[in-house]
Structure 1
Amino acid sequence: MKQIFIISFMFVFNFLFSQSGQVFYEAISKKYPETAENKADAYITELENTKIFLELKFNKTISYFTKTNLRKGDEFNLGEEGLSILIGYEELYYNLKDKLLFSDYGEFLIKTPSNHNWNILSESKKIDNYLCYKATYTESYTARDGKTKERVITAWFCPELPYSFGPLEFNGLPGLILELEKNGNKVVAKTILLSDKKIDLKIPNKKTITKEQYDKKIKENSQF
């Protein structure tokens, strides 16, 4: 209880002095077991040697998450595409006040509620000299065999950086998420820039649909 009180106090205290910021992350693939098959698999070799560079911009109410090493035209990188799928990358906006995520699909946005039931633990470590605390979230997903399964998402958040934002679709902790692990793959903060000036971020003025509407359209194979 004492630890949670300290975290909450630090969050409120620092919030008074913070305006906005940017975090540059690096996504890194997990290492696969060293077998003869894996050594001969060009995809796994490329995946293990791939890094994706990502950026989170935020102010007190809105965040925007995107890749920074975007490819042009028909350029294709198998490792980068594979790692993007494994971490669940999407270009995202997040509205903290309404707790809504907006996935940017170019011509339209997909709106989904953001409800992560985090379990905050006492374990801590330093990331880039920031003291971070561990939190876990159990996520349900549909596996390739069609069955519903669960996996644990691990986040390390920093109360000294008083924003409930993070990489990918993960947010809602009492501090900025500086490291995230999903399926053994990691997204780690490499550069943190803070400013006392507000970054102007807005949810794009595009047609907005729900995830249920999107899934229905996909099944019907119809246009939006």
Structure 2
Amino acid sequence: MKNIVTFFIITLSLLLNAQKKGKVVYKVSLDKSTIEKPYENPENTEAKNEALEMLHESQPVEAYLVFNDSVSLYYVEEKVEIPRWDNDNGVVNITPSGINMSWYMAGSANLYYSDWTRNYNISTSEVVGTRKRIKKEPILWDITEETKTINGYLCYKAILTAKENRIAWFTKEIPLPHGPRGFNGLPGLVLEFQNNKYTYLAKSIELDHYEAEEIEEPLEGDIITEEDYRKWANGFWSDEGN
């Protein structure tokens, strides 16, 4: 009888874990306090000042991770233009800058899809109308004992092997290997990811969200490796420049 009860408890636990599904809303933002301000350094080129200006004008965006027990899809909110305020001879002009670096860093219009039943991780990318599906290599993590709480979940710190400026905080309370923008493969859902100066922080976690029932795999475009994609993209732009 004891063995039957133990078997029932274990089976029920596995079924509950397998049924976990939902949606995470991340806020993706740039820590501007660590970035040099434009035009403060007289030795900077105009191009560098313009790049710094774009970074300081960038605004946080929302990104979404929809998941079930084995499959996930990550995407970013639709592109919105940031207004640029120019004061010209006392007249304020509002024009769109058209570039939000936080949106691009969050993933822009690309999709990130994972299916752990096939150990299959891809991202989509489009270059001048040509779409590719890029097969991602497995990510290696160093998991630490450091913890903190995010949205009520106890999270553990993991560091991307060989890249100490990329840090993930994952929770074993949702024991699924999903994460934002393809940064996944940990023994728990990633609720925060720090990529150099950008942070992906879970604003909300809604389990049993309806979108988890409708996750579709991106099928448009040839599948290539990351290395072949870099060669193809570099070759494409080189040919365009000739």
**TM-score (normalised: structure 1):** 0.73
Deviation at 1:37, TM superposition (A): 4.2
Select the residue among 123, 131, 142 that pairs with 2:146: 123
SS of 1:32 mapped into structure 2 = helix
Matches within 5 A, 1:46-125: 46-47=57-58, 50-71=59-80, 77-78=98-99, 80=100, 82-86=101-105, 90-105=110-125, 108-125=131-148
Gaps of 5+ in 1: 1-11, 140-149
Residues 64, 94 of structure 1: 8 Å contact kept: yes
1:76/1:66 Cα in 2 relative to 1: closer, same or farther (>3 Å)? farther
Residues 95, 101 of structure 1: 8 Å contact kept: yes
Give the structure 1 partner of residue 16 of structure 2: 16
Cα deviation per residue 1:25-55 (whole Å; 9 max; x = unaligned)? 00010123476646796324313xx101000
Higher relative contact order (CA 8 A, sep 6+): 1
| More off after superposition, 31-40 vs 119-128 | 31-40
Distance 2:35 2:118 in 1: 46
Distance 1:83 1:196 in 2: 26
1:36/1:128 Cα in 2 relative to 1: closer, same or farther (>3 Å)? closer
Percent sequence identity over matched residues?
26
1:98/1:129 Cα in 2 relative to 1: closer, same or farther (>3 Å)? same
Distance 1:184 1:36 in 2: 15
Once superposed, what is the RMSD of the aligned Cα atoms?
A: 3.1
Cα deviation per residue 1:127-167 (whole Å; 9 max; x = unaligned)? 0111111111135xxxxxxxxxx553100001111210010
- Count of paired positions: 196
**TM-score (normalised: structure 2):** 0.68
Gaps of 5+ in 2: 1-11, 41-48, 82-95
Query: Rg larger in 1 or in 2?
Result: 2
Distance 2:37 2:155 in 1: 38
Distance 1:43 1:196 in 2: 35
Give the structure 1 partner of residue 5 of structure 2: none
Give the structure 2 partner of residue 146 of structure 1: none
